[in-house]
Amino acid sequence: MASSSTGMRGGLGRVLLTAFMLLAIVPLSVVSYLAIRRVQGDARRAAVASVEQAVAWRVAQFESWLKLYRQGLAMAVGSAEFRRAVDDESWDDACRALSNPLLIDDVEAVALVSADAQTTLCASGPLQRSGIAQAFPIIALVNSSSGLQVATLVAYPDPQALDELVQPFGLETGQRLLLINARADLVFATGEASEQWPEGPLHTWAATQALTEDRGSGLYDDPLGVPVVGAWRWLVDPRVALLVEQPQKSALAGADELATMLIASTLAVALLTTLLAAVIIRQLVRPIVQLTMSAVKIANGDLGQKVLVNRRDEIGILGQAFNIMTAELRSLYDGLEQKVAERTRLLSEANQQLRYQAGQLALSAEVGRIGTSTLDLVPLLERVTQAVVDGYSDIYEMRYAGVLLLDRFEQWVELQASAGAGRMGTLSHTSVRADNVIAQVIADGLLRKTDLNDPAIEIAVPLRIGPRPIGVLDMQCQPQQALTQHDCDVWQGLGDQISVAIENARIYAAQREAVERLSRLDHMRLASLGIGSRELATELNTIIGFSRLILKGVDGPLTDTQRTDLIAIHRSGYSLLGLIDNVIALSELESGEIDAKHESVDLSSLLSEAIASARQRLVGVAVEWDKEESGILVGGDKKLLLQAFLSLITATAERVPQNRVTVSSRTSGSGNGRAIVQFGNTNQVWQRAAGFDLSAGDPAASEGNPSLSDTSVGLKLAKQIVELHRGTLHLAFDAERGLSGMVVLGLVKPEGS
């Protein structure tokens, strides 16, 4: 045994010092962090409120100035000199009258525009200067003496006037005022210099928000990347946004100073706490170190060592406990061997009991695994009986295990499977009315133990599903010790597991038999349906052929009524023939008799053939082909795709009120693109209403009516064929416009590309 070294030193002092530092620094840091966050948040809100208040003041001032400016324009338009020039249509005189500073003051430029806004009648001032081009106009209507509008007065205010308007009231330190027109151009700026900003429209967050929202505020970066806090207000007339900004550095300067002070205070308090904790811990740990040295000597075998107790606190109590422990260790050495032997015996018995329980649990788990993995009854019972013999061979010296089950009339109990070679007088066939242990267990459902010869016994465990008995688990063993009620409970639990496995196997056998019977019936149904449909199709072809001959006049001229009736017969015959063809193809698809080929198919040729067949069948219905692209190749079975498109065109013709069906095809996307075939009413308005977007590269069509394909055999067949080719079919139905749809198929690259 390794001895403890007297040189060992613990880390109690370091642990206590670390704990004191954490208890001091962490709360202070958290409080400081929360305080800084609170102060910074209050500072941000105050800064935002300041610029919002500045915006409100400047908006009121600006609106008042606009009102006075418009009054001045109204006075200028109403002056006698200007009205005479307007009535005489002397536009140059009118502009000279407007240039009189007594009429309109603070004007950079004015212009008279015709009432239809198509012609500039006259202009005064530098209209072509960039500053004026980016300014905001103020509009006034010009009427003749009769009250009829003859022109529009457009006045561009002088930016110097705006600067004189803002400056008398001043801005707070660091704030600036901006005017932005509807194109995000900077019209006017005052306050902090903005001459270093890039030319062109402003692309700041505030400028973008100001053109989409009436008012707002926030923190963002200006065009030079300087963080600012700003607020804006959109003025509907004259369509400009008024924006007040202030750098965050100046707005949040007070909060930053307070944060610095809090951090410094936290560090000072933490340092002072560390020094005080070091002094206190030194006084506390010194007696503990002395006590530890004495305890190390005792651990090294010096049981005569005593701890000097000169304290009355917890450390003194600990020293007394060490002295008592040393005395008890001396007394323990006297009866140590006897105690070790007793503990060893108890441990052996506990291990034996644990081994029994572990074996029982392992067997229970094995039986459960067999019951879930084996569903045939005979193999299940054979594996279960063998598992019982193998699992209990070490615990109870199991010699034999067998399962006996009631027959279907519940009159006889017969052996189904067994394992082991030590069978002694076990019944393999008995009546439920016999006088033996098997019949008794079946009758009352209770576990029974019977002595065979000392010390062998027979255990009969009832197998049951609820209160209903189904058989008996019969076992013969030679236990090494007396059986307990726990053993009986374990056996009964094992019997319940076997009962559930037997019932599952029986249910599985019944379900498998039912599935096989239903499969045979479904195969017979599909075969009968195919044979009957083919015979009916033969007769229909005869009817269609004769009706076509009569319509061509082979049997003589026809009256209009006869021709109408024959056209109806001819069309109905083709409809019924198409329905029968669809039923035959659908039955072959469901039965798996169709072996679909995969080849490159020219979509234009395929649609041309489908449209020709549809025109032959659909008498009185115009089938048009709006061919947008050619040379489109798709992969699949040509015969199946032809039948799908023919079914779609026929179903569409039956649901189009105008007796007109349009078919179009094109491609979408690049690389792994797709082929798109549209049929029905292809009007753009109807397509968008149905959920189709013909201009988009990805035709994300809505289903419109997802259950529509389930109401028609042709549509159902077409949907299965399209999905068989890994495509999608989208349908939409409208009572006024009829049925429209879209088929999307994958493209095939041409050979050699």
Per DSSP bridges, beta strands 660-668 and 622-627 are parallel
Least confident of 72-86, 143-157, 344-358, 670-684: 670-684
φ, ψ for residue 734, nearest 5 deg = -130, 135
Site of tokens 């329905």: 579
Q: For the chain, give the percent of residues with pLDDT over 90.
A: 0
Buried/exposed 661-698: b ≥16 CB within 10 Å, e otherwise:
bbbbbbbeeeeeebbbbbbbbbeeebbeebbbebeeee
In a domain, 548, yes or no: no
In a domain, 12, yes or no: no
> Where does the pLDDT of residue 686 fall: very low under 50, low under 70, confident under 90, or very high at 90 and above?
very low
Strand partners, 462: 472
Strand order in the sheet with 622-627: 622-627, 660-668, 674-680, 738-746, 728-734
Judged against a pLDDT cut of 70, whether residue 422 lies above it is answered with no
**Which domain CATH number covers 687?**
3.30.565.10
Among 248, 243, 233, smallest CA distance to 178 is for 243
Judged against a pLDDT cut of 60, whether residue 289 lies above it is answered with yes
Which of 160, 182, 210 is the endpoint of a domain?
A: 160
Residues 6+ apart with CB under 8 A from 43: 251, 252, 254, 255
Digit-coded pLDDT (tens) for 542-595: 776 767 777 777 777 878 787 777 777 766 776 666 666 666 666 666 666 666
Give SS3 for 433: coil
In this structure, are residues 95 and 107 in contact, taking their beta carbons and an 8 Å threshold?
Answer: no
Strand partners, 733: 739
* pLDDT score recorded for residue 133: 43
Which of 112, 131, 160 is the endpoint of a domain?
A: 160
Judged against a pLDDT cut of 50, whether residue 7 lies above it is answered with no
Is 654 buried (19+), middle (13-18) or exposed (0-12) by CB count in 10 A? middle
The span from the CA of 331 to the CA of 515, in Å, is 80
Q: Containing domain of residue 725, as a range? A: 595-746
Amino acid identity, residue 551?
L
- Global confidence as pTM: 0.36
Task: Count structural domains, the chain.
Answer: 2
In a domain, 14, yes or no: no
Strand order in the sheet with 227-235: 186-191, 176-181, 240-247, 227-235, 215-221
In this structure, are residues 125 and 110 in contact, taking their beta carbons and an 8 Å threshold?
Answer: yes
In a domain, 374, yes or no: no
* pLDDT score recorded for residue 240: 84
Choose between 635 and 117: higher pLDDT: 635
In a domain, 122, yes or no: yes
* pLDDT score recorded for residue 589: 67
Is 478 buried (19+), middle (13-18) or exposed (0-12) by CB count in 10 A? middle
Task: Spell out the SS3 assignment of 75-88.
Answer: HHHCCHHHHHHHHC
Among 139, 187, 185, 183, smallest CA distance to 163 is for 187
In a domain, 686, yes or no: yes
> Where does the pLDDT of residue 410 fall: very low under 50, low under 70, confident under 90, or very high at 90 and above?
confident
In a domain, 716, yes or no: yes
* pLDDT score recorded for residue 424: 58
Residues 6+ apart with CB under 8 A from 406: 412, 413, 432, 442, 469, 470, 471
* pLDDT score recorded for residue 518: 77
Digit-coded pLDDT (tens) for 649-670: 888 877 777 778 888 888 876 5
Judged against a pLDDT cut of 80, whether residue 191 lies above it is answered with no
Which of 160, 192, 212 is the endpoint of a domain?
A: 160
Judged against a pLDDT cut of 50, whether residue 677 lies above it is answered with yes
In a domain, 500, yes or no: no
* pLDDT score recorded for residue 57: 82
